Amino acid sequence: MSVNYAAGLSPYADKGVCGLPEEFDSPDELKAKVEILAQLIKESQYLVVHSGAGISTSAGIPDFRGPKGVWTLEEKGESPQFETTFEDARPSLTHMALLGLQRAGYLKYLISQNVDGLHVRSGFPRDMLSELHGNMFVEECEKCGRQYVRDKVIGVMGLKPTGRLCDVVRSMSLRACRAGETAKTACVLEECSSGIAKVNRDNLHRRADLALTLGTSMQIKPSGDLPLITKRKGGKLAIVNLQPTKHDKHSYLRIHGYVDDIMKQLVELLGLDVPKWEGPTVCERSTITPECTADVKPPQSAPV
Given this model, what pLDDT does residue 294 score? 47
Given this model, what pLDDT does residue 100 score? 98
- Pick the closest to residue 109 from 201, 189, 30 (CA basis): 201
Question: What's the pTM?
Answer: 0.82
- Greater confidence (296 vs 227) lies with 227
Given this model, what pLDDT does residue 167 score? 80
CB-count burial class (<10 Å; 0-12, 13-18, 19+) for 108: buried
Given this model, what pLDDT does residue 235 score? 96
Given this model, what pLDDT does residue 18 score? 63
Work out the average pLDDT over 70-90: 69
Given this model, what pLDDT does residue 304 score? 27
- Greater confidence (200 vs 249) lies with 249
Given this model, what pLDDT does residue 86 score? 82
- Greater confidence (62 vs 242) lies with 242
Is the predicted pLDDT of residue 7 greater than 50, yes or no? Answer: no
Pinpoint the residues of the chain covered by CATH 3.40.50.1220: 25-135+189-290
Domain covering 25-135+189-290, topology: Rossmann fold (3.40.50)
Given this model, what pLDDT does residue 143 score? 80
Given this model, what pLDDT does residue 83 score? 65
CB atoms within 10 A of CB 292: 17
What CA–CA distance (Å, rounded) separates 270 from 167? Answer: 44
Q: Kindly report the backbone phi and psi dihedral angles of residue 122, in degrees, each rounded to the nearest multiple of 5, phi listed first.
A: -75, -15
Is the predicted pLDDT of residue 60 greater than 60, yes or no? Answer: yes
For the chain, what percent of residues have pLDDT higher than 70? 67
148 has which bridge partners? 139
For the chain, what percent of residues have pLDDT higher than 90? 44
- Residues forming the annotated binding site for Zn(2+)? 141, 144, 166, 177
CB-count burial class (<10 Å; 0-12, 13-18, 19+) for 196: middle
Is the predicted pLDDT of residue 13 greater than 70, yes or no? Answer: no
Distance of CA 301 to the CA centre of its chain: 28
Instruction: Domain 137-185: give its CATH code.
Output: 2.20.28.200
CB atoms within 10 A of CB 159: 16
Work out the average pLDDT over 254-270: 98
- Tell me the CA distances in angstroms from 182 to 2, 164, 175, 187, one per residue in order: 21, 5, 15, 15
Greatest mean pLDDT among 63-67, 81-85, 179-183: 81-85
Is the predicted pLDDT of residue 64 greater than 70, yes or no? Answer: no
- Pick the closest to residue 263 from 120, 91, 114 (CA basis): 91
Given this model, what pLDDT does residue 118 score? 96
Is the predicted pLDDT of residue 17 greater than 70, yes or no? Answer: no
Pinpoint the residues of the chain covered by CATH 2.20.28.200: 137-185
Is the predicted pLDDT of residue 21 greater than 80, yes or no? Answer: no
- Pick the closest to residue 239 from 222, 223, 217 (CA basis): 217
DSSP 172-230: TT--B--SS-SEEEPPSSSPPHHHHHHHHHTTHHHH-SEEEEES----STTGGGHHHHH
Q: Which residues of 70-95 are buried (b: 16+ CB within 10 A; e: fewer)?
A: bbbbeeeeeebeeeeebbebbbbbbb
- Residues forming the annotated binding site? 141, 144, 166, 177
Taking only the tens place, the pLDDT of each residue in 22-38 is 899 999 999 999 999 99
- Pick the closest to residue 33 from 255, 212, 216, 237 (CA basis): 255
Given this model, what pLDDT does residue 19 score? 56
Residue partners of 124: CB distance under 8 A and separation at least 6: 95, 98, 99, 102, 110, 283
Residues involved in catalysis: 133
What CA–CA distance (Å, rounded) separates 46 from 37? Answer: 14
Which pairs from 288-294 meet CB under 8 Å and 24+ separation?
288/125, 290/103, 292/123, 292/125
Taking only the tens place, the pLDDT of each residue in 178-205 is 555 455 665 655 555 556 656 655 566 6
CB-count burial class (<10 Å; 0-12, 13-18, 19+) for 233: middle
Is the predicted pLDDT of residue 10 greater than 60, yes or no? Answer: no
Taking only the tens place, the pLDDT of each residue in 97-130 is 999 999 999 999 999 989 899 999 999 999 999 9
Greatest mean pLDDT among 3-7, 198-202, 253-257: 253-257
SS3 for 28? Answer: helix
